[in-house]
Amino acid sequence: MRAAVTAFCAWLELTPFSRQLQTREWVVPAVQTVHLLAIAAVMGAMLLFNLRLLGLRGTDAPLARVSRRFLPVIWASVLVLLVSGAVMIAAEPARSLLSPAFQLKMVLLLAALALTAATGRPLRHSPDYWGTSRLRGRVARVFGTASIGLWVAILCAGRWIAYMGVR
Ligand code: HEM
């Protein structure tokens, strides 16, 4: 598996697109800035949604309305992160694809996205879904806490890529 990823990185960094990115020094910092702005948007929306889920903030608005307001921001920001992240990978493939910190970040991201979907989806059909029983209330608190933890861990893993290096 590692050999295949290494071969893919070697192929990718010789493609004309990657070569262009390597020779234009302003592109990666510009794309990093977009990545950072999208991180701010996703973390802000994620926190406001999960704090409402936990009943700690914004309790004057129904959860379903908070979900309709913030979940689209999360999905749109993740799309921007995906595109900007892909450009950074194309510029320096081995730096991230072979980094355990990057691999961990992707696994955590999948878990965070699954949790976000599992929390938001039931609200579309039943706006009071998480408030209809004590068990659901408890599950919602576990989901909200786990989600905040996962997104913070993704943030740390993302920053860690630059320091961990390739193993
Ligand atoms: C959606 C897919 C994503 C991809 C493909 C991706 C990819 C990348 C890449 C390639 C880097 C550059 C690492 C380096 O060379 O040092 C990076 C940096 C980073 N990413 Fe992501 N990322 C994604 C999503 C996210 C998310 C959801 C977060 C956090 C909520 C995040 C947080 C970070 C952070 C904090 C950095 C370091 C920025 C810096 O030091 O300038 N990323 N990402």
| pLDDT of res. 1 | 87
Spans of the chain, pLDDT less than 50: none
CB-ligand 1 contact for 151 (6 Å cutoff): yes
Count the domains in the chain.
Answer: 1
Q: pTM of this prediction?
A: 0.94
Q: How far does the centroid of ligand 1 lie from the alpha carbon of residue 130, in Å?
A: 32
Ligand 1 atom closest to residue 46's alpha carbon, by position in its atom list: 30
String of DSSP letters for the chain: -HHHHHHHHHHHTTSHHHHHHHH-TTHHHHHHHHHHHHHHHHHHHHHHHHHHHTTSS-TTS-HHHHHHHHHHHHHHHHHHHHHHHHHHHHHSHHHHHT-HHHHHHHHHHHHHHHHHHHHHHHHHH-TTGGGSSHHHHHHHHHHHHHHHHHHHHHHHHHHHHHHH---
- Is 39 a pocket residue for ligand 1 (Cβ < 6 Å)? yes
What's the mean per-residue pLDDT of the chain? Answer: 97
Domain containing 26: what range?
2-164
Ligand 1 and 32: CB distance under 6 A? yes
pLDDT at 82 (0 to 100):
98
Distance 156 CA to ligand 1 centre (A): 9
| pLDDT score recorded for residue 16 | 97
